[in-house]
């Protein structure tokens, strides 16, 4: 009897254990695998990491295929604005490296902003957003435009109600986050996920330097490249592989038109005129240039660096030592060669990739 009771007890234990290990039918999809968001890894060339600035991927907003798909749809969603006339993509256009070709973007009521719309590319490494770096994450940055009176002029409760009433969004949020609950946190998380996938690393420069295609650059572009990384001192602030250094710098622009830059955030006079150093990839299509769009063309930008840097500007960044020491002397040919090289940073695949376009 003792042996029989032992066997029955053992059998009961095994049955209970198997039942405990069995997956909840509610968590099984149609093909018998676990449902839920699909983890997504960014496809980044090994050479695109610089060993200093590492990917900034928040632990509380991991990349998933469903989250990115939802973020892409929301990036192009005009219901985020008060009168449903404007989306993020209205001022961040793919063909312009997700920037705005206008000097200042126009809000839903015709209001004009005071800073040029920044490109959205290769931001998965960044820790500061907006020209004055007042936002510490892409999620935080995405909150702002919806409420900005010069942009979408809306409120988050209105946006949330619109998305809840939409025939598609509740299901998309469930796929991305595990439930149909919709709030501003999930909206900006999804948008940030999509923006982190906007990677650009397939320019003629990349094919020349990293893929060994000796025909990828013209002779003029090669001369410009030598200047960029040499006597022109462009590389002091815009170094590879992403052509920025994540700094907030005063480059001697002179008049600021009332925009104090980082000082407006910190209140520190030492930050007057400091603005974010942005990457130069696709720079040939992301004009106008500088925080206030004061330069319409790359030729104007090079003219500034050749002859117009205001060396006695308070708080001139230490990266401008090449100018303060009189080491930068760019003649017309040098400037033309540099412009030609900057065109070689254009990634046509990025600018036309349908995976980044409007899904509506």
pLDDT tens per residue, range 312-342:
998 999 999 999 999 999 999 999 999 999 9
HEC string of 320-349 equals HHHHHCCCCCCCHHHHHHHHHHHHCCCCHH
Q: CATH code at 325?
A: 1.10.760.10
Q: What integer is the mean pLDDT of 83-95?
A: 98
Burial class (CB in 10 A: 0-12, 13-18, 19+), 12: exposed
Q: Are residues 226 and 195 in the same domain?
A: no
Q: Are residues 170 and 56 in the same domain?
A: yes
User: Does residue 7 form part of some domain?
Assistant: no
User: Does residue 340 form part of some domain?
Assistant: yes
Distance, CA of 107 to CA of 123 (rounded, Å): 24
| Number of domains composing the chain | 2
User: Does residue 350 form part of some domain?
Assistant: no
Distance, CA of 166 to CA of 160 (rounded, Å): 10
- CB pairs under 8 A, 24+ apart, for 102-107? 102/293, 103/288, 103/292, 103/293, 103/296, 104/293, 105/151, 107/148, 107/149, 107/150, 107/151, 107/152, 107/153
Q: Are residues 178 and 248 in the same domain?
A: no
Determine the pLDDT at residue 28: 31
Q: Are residues 179 and 265 in the same domain?
A: no
User: Does residue 19 form part of some domain?
Assistant: no
- pLDDT above 90 covers a percentage of the chain that reads 86
**Is the confidence at residue 219, as pLDDT, over 50?**
yes
- pLDDT above 70 covers a percentage of the chain that reads 90
Q: What integer is the mean pLDDT of 243-255?
A: 94
Indicate the average pLDDT of the chain: 91
Among 177, 199, 221, which residue terminates a domain? 199
Determine the pLDDT at residue 29: 38
Determine the pLDDT at residue 223: 98
Lowest mean pLDDT among 3-7, 181-185, 233-237: 3-7
**Which residues are bridge partners to 274 per DSSP?**
261
CB 342, CB 284: distance < 8 Å? yes
CB 146, CB 86: distance < 8 Å? no
Q: Are residues 70 and 187 in the same domain?
A: yes
User: Does residue 215 form part of some domain?
Assistant: yes
Determine the pLDDT at residue 218: 98
**Is the confidence at residue 33, as pLDDT, over 50?**
no
Q: Are residues 193 and 225 in the same domain?
A: no
Q: Are residues 191 and 213 in the same domain?
A: no
Quickly state the pLDDT bin for 21 (edges 50, 70, 90): very low
pLDDT in tens, 182-215: 999 999 999 999 999 999 999 999 999 999 999 9
User: Does residue 8 form part of some domain?
Assistant: no
Distance, CA of 65 to CA of 355 (rounded, Å): 12
User: Does residue 58 form part of some domain?
Assistant: yes
User: Which residues have CB under 8 Å from 228's CB, separation 6+?
Assistant: 234, 235, 338, 341
Determine the pLDDT at residue 22: 37
- Least Cα distance to 115 among 242, 238, 257 occurs for 257
**Is the confidence at residue 16, as pLDDT, over 50?**
no
Q: Are residues 228 and 338 in the same domain?
A: yes
Determine the pLDDT at residue 34: 53
pLDDT in tens, 92-104: 999 999 999 999 9
**Is the confidence at residue 11, as pLDDT, over 90?**
no
Among 199, 231, 258, which residue terminates a domain? 199
Quickly state the pLDDT bin for 52 (edges 50, 70, 90): confident
**Is the confidence at residue 5, as pLDDT, over 60?**
no
Distance, CA of 54 to CA of 294 (rounded, Å): 32
User: Does residue 312 form part of some domain?
Assistant: yes
Q: Are residues 213 and 309 in the same domain?
A: yes
**Domain encompassing residue 139:** 46-199
Q: Are residues 210 and 287 in the same domain?
A: yes
Among 174, 199, 224, which residue terminates a domain? 199
Q: What integer is the mean pLDDT of 235-253?
A: 94
Q: Are residues 50 and 193 in the same domain?
A: yes
pLDDT in tens, 125-135: 999 999 999 99
CA neighbours closer than 13 Å in the CB half-sphere of residue 305:
28
Q: Are residues 153 and 289 in the same domain?
A: no
CA 65, 141, 164, 168 dihedral sign is negative
- Between 157 and 21, the more confident residue is 157
Distance, CA of 276 to CA of 262 (rounded, Å): 9
Determine the pLDDT at residue 50: 85
């Amino acid at each position: 009897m003792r042996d029989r009771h032992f066997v029955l007890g053992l059998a009961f234990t095994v049955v209970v254990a198997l039942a405990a290990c069995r997956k909840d039918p509610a968590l099984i999809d149609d093909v018998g695998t676990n449902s839920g968001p699909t983890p997504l890894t960014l496809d980044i060339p090994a050479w695109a990491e610089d060993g200093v600035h590492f990917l900034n991927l928040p632990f509380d907003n991991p990349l998933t295929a469903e989250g990115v798909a939802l973020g892409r749809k929301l990036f192009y969603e005009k219901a985020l604005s008060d009168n449903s006339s404007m989306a993020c993509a209205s001022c961040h256009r793919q063909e312009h490296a997700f920037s705005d070709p206008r000097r200042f973007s126009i809000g839903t009521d015709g209001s004009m902003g005071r800073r040029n719309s920044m490109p959205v590319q290769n931001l998965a490494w960044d820790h500061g957003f907006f020209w004055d770096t007042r936002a510490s994450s892409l999620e935080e940055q995405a909150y702002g435009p919806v409420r900005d009176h010069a942009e979408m002029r809306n409120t988050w409760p209105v946006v949330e109600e619109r998305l809840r009433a939409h025939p598609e969004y509740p299901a998309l949020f469930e796929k991305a986050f595990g439930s149909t609950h919709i709030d501003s946190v999930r909206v900006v998380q999804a948008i940030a996920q999509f923006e982190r996938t906007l990677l650009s690393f397939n320019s003629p420069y990349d094919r020349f330097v990293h893929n060994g295609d000796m025909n990828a650059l013209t002779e003029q572009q090669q001369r410009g490249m030598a200047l960029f990384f040499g006597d022109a001192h462009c590389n002091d602030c815009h170094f590879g592989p992403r052509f920025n250094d994540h700094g907030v710098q005063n480059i001697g622009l002179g008049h600021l038109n009332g925009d104090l830059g980082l000082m407006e955030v910190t209140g520190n006079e030492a930050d007057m005129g400091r603005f974010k150093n942005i990457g130069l990839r696709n720079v040939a299509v992301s004009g106008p240039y500088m925080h206030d769009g004061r330069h319409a063309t790359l030729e104007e930008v090079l003219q500034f660096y050749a002859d117009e840097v205001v060396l006695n500007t308070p708080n001139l960044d230490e990266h401008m030592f090449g100018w303060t020491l009189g080491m930068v002397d760019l003649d017309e040919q040098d400037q033309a060669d540099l412009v030609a090289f900057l065109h070689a940073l254009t990634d046509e695949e990025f600018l036309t990739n349908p995976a980044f376009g409007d899904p509506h």
